[in-house]
A and B are shown apart, each in its own frame.
Chain A
């Protein structure tokens, strides 16, 4: 029973992180029709920047030094997300915008080039050793579920995931900017003809998508250290999520993340060898039966 509760929490924790990454990927695809291969690397960049900021300001071994320090460290975490959003806001007008008139293969390729550049830029900036903000997780302690201990920080991540889902939903369906975003996504030329500044919408959408990826990295780094290559692994799982849920769909990203989270946790428990293969096969099966995913439109 206790194990079941913990495994459920683990699944939701994992789903929360995946949702943050996949929602950004899906938003960018939904508005701009770009499949961003560098998205996982944005997630890794967020993790690195947050871990670096926490480590630089508070030193590596600040664990257990009071609530004030912990609060400060938690406040520094979103820095990673902001940094990635800034990078995104620079990349879109310089590298992506000139290519919108060309076939989509070129955009895919340039995001692959961005991936290569960013992976090594992170190695250059942060070095080859893993960066961790584990002191946050240590000083937050853990609580008991029956006879077992569970880290309290994981609940923070789950909370951020839920808040991000509600926030994004509100943003897209309840604000003026959300309407503009959806209008642009449905018909770019019509939106432009109605006087919307499509260029600006694109920058904002791309930056928000990047922010989500960075936020995913920022919240995960106290639980798992930032390592090289984490982005490349994360991207494929995010793909699986949005393929299952439907490209460009927010609800789909949420449901997809939950499915992947639970399947993965079950997989690690019961069929560890084919755990990843099962996920890819689920994605392939969904693409085959419902090409637009569970929640996709057209």
Chain B
């Protein structure tokens, strides 16, 4: 537990992470188009899982309703593109962030009045309100058909890059990869600063002992609320980035099993570490894609992985690797 030390400064961490970032930047030159596309999905989910883990790993609150914020980001982008005919992805992201900010501030205000299982169920119930609205108001949201957001409808960098004409698919995948990668690095850096700031330390104090944290003078409920809002916004950003890639948004991403998938990703990577959710999200994406491709019983495969994970490797991929590394070093 990195409780006492404040940790290295951001430039040091960025320097340490530089080789990984460079490797990610070089990857599209090595792997093919399809793999690149999968990586974009992985990176988007990684942003969502990072946000989710601010609540689970750092504040000790398990939200089973994060699909609402992912979906809010996604649907907002879809509305902006369809109804306002805005093409600039930056404006779309801004809109998505704003709407998730409002939604998570509202829901968070209600949810943080509870902890433990009541918090989980309340977050779930509220997320299902959003789902049922998206599902039933089909003249606005398209119902189960969802809303199409064709990649030709968006432009990156204030219209500098558009995706019309021939070969646009390739162009889209490669440019969107770098677009998402940059945003991911920024998001991860911001999250790193948050969890290592005094605010982040306060959250961890609340997680470890709520009563003591209150006695020290931390306003527990307000801190939880702010953490909730930040967490929701990260997930909303992920949803906004996911839409043009997927080309379609449906109520599926608002339904509660998708919240379960976000939890799954985070636990797969390990929610006790900063990098866990990132690794978990990318790994989960691969796992799901290959399970779906190889068997119609992919849920069975994923379910078994989850059960084994919880039973045998509760610290996730990163936690287990860290333990193994520690053992090797001691020898």
Contact = CB atoms under 8 A, between A and B. Distances in A.
Interface of A: 35, 37, 95, 98-99, 102, 104-106, 108-110, 112-121, 123-124, 232, 236, 239-240, 243, 247, 272-277, 280-281, 283-284, 287-288, 291
B306 interface: yes
Nearest to B256: A236
B314 interface: yes
B307 interface: yes
**Main SS of the interface on chain B?**
helix
Contact of B121 (A35, A110, A119, A232): A35
B299 interface: yes
A123 B297 contact: yes
Contacts of B120: 35, 108
Contact of A280 (B128, B136, B306): B128
A287 B263 contact: no
Interface string B293-329: 0001111101110110011001000000000000000
User: Interface range on chain B: under 10, 10 to 19, 20 to 34, or 35 or more?
Assistant: 35 or more
Contacts of A114: 303, 307
B124 interface: yes
B105 interface: no
A276 B136 contact: yes
Contact of A284 (B122, B133, B307, B311): B122
B117 A35 contact: yes
B300 A291 contact: no
A4 to B, nearest CB: 25
Given A95-B307, A112-B264, A284-B129, 20 more contacts: A102-B314, A106-B314, A110-B306, A110-B307, A112-B263, A113-B303, A113-B310, A117-B300, A117-B303, A119-B303, A120-B297, A120-B300, A236-B256, A273-B136, A276-B128, A276-B136, A280-B129, A284-B122, A287-B122, A291-B114
A37 B256 CA distance: 11
Interface class of chain A by DSSP: helix
B180 to A, nearest CB: 28
B121 A243 contact: yes
A251 B22 CA distance: 61
A206 B331 CA distance: 45
B304 to A, nearest CB: 6
Contact of A109 (B132, B136, B310): B310
A35 B256 CA distance: 15
A232 to B, nearest CB: 6
Contacts of B137: 273
Nearest to A124: B297
Contacts of B263: 109, 112
A240 B126 CA distance: 11
Nearest to B297: A120
A170 to B, nearest CB: 29
Interface of B: 56, 62, 64, 110, 113-114, 116-118, 120-122, 124-126, 128-129, 132-133, 135-137, 255-257, 260, 263-264, 267, 296-300, 302-304, 306-307, 310-311, 314
Given A104-B116, A110-B307, A116 B300 contact: yes
A280 to B, nearest CB: 5
Contacts of A243: 121, 125
21 contacts: A95-B307, A108-B64, A108-B117, A109-B264, A110-B311, A112-B263, A113-B304, A116-B299, A116-B302, A116-B303, A117-B307, A120-B300, A236-B124, A236-B256, A273-B137, A274-B133, A275-B132, A277-B129, A284-B125, A287-B121, A288-B113
Contact of A112 (B56, B114, B255, B306): B306
A34 B63 CA distance: 16
A280 B303 contact: no
Given A98-B311, A109-B267, A280 B118 contact: no
A280 B297 contact: no
A113 B306 contact: yes
A108 B263 CA distance: 10
Contacts of A273: 136-137
Contacts of A37: 260
Most buried by B among A109, A115, A116, A273: A116
A52 B126 CA distance: 36
Contacts of A99: 310-311
B112 to A, nearest CB: 11
Contact of A239 (B62, B121, B257, B311): B121
A22 to B, nearest CB: 13
A16 B114 CA distance: 30
A275 B110 CA distance: 21
A120 B292 CA distance: 12
Contacts of A117: 299-300, 303-304, 307
Given A108-B120, A116-B303, A272-B136, A284 B126 contact: yes
Contacts of B264: 109, 112
Residue of B122, B310, B311 with highest tally of chain A CB at under 10 A: B310
Contact of A108 (B62, B256, B300): B62
B118 A287 contact: yes
Contacts of B110: 284, 288
Contacts of B118: 287, 291
A257 B29 CA distance: 58
A272 B128 CA distance: 16
Given A104-B117, A105-B62, A239-B124, A120 B136 contact: no
A176 B282 CA distance: 53
A136 to B, nearest CB: 31
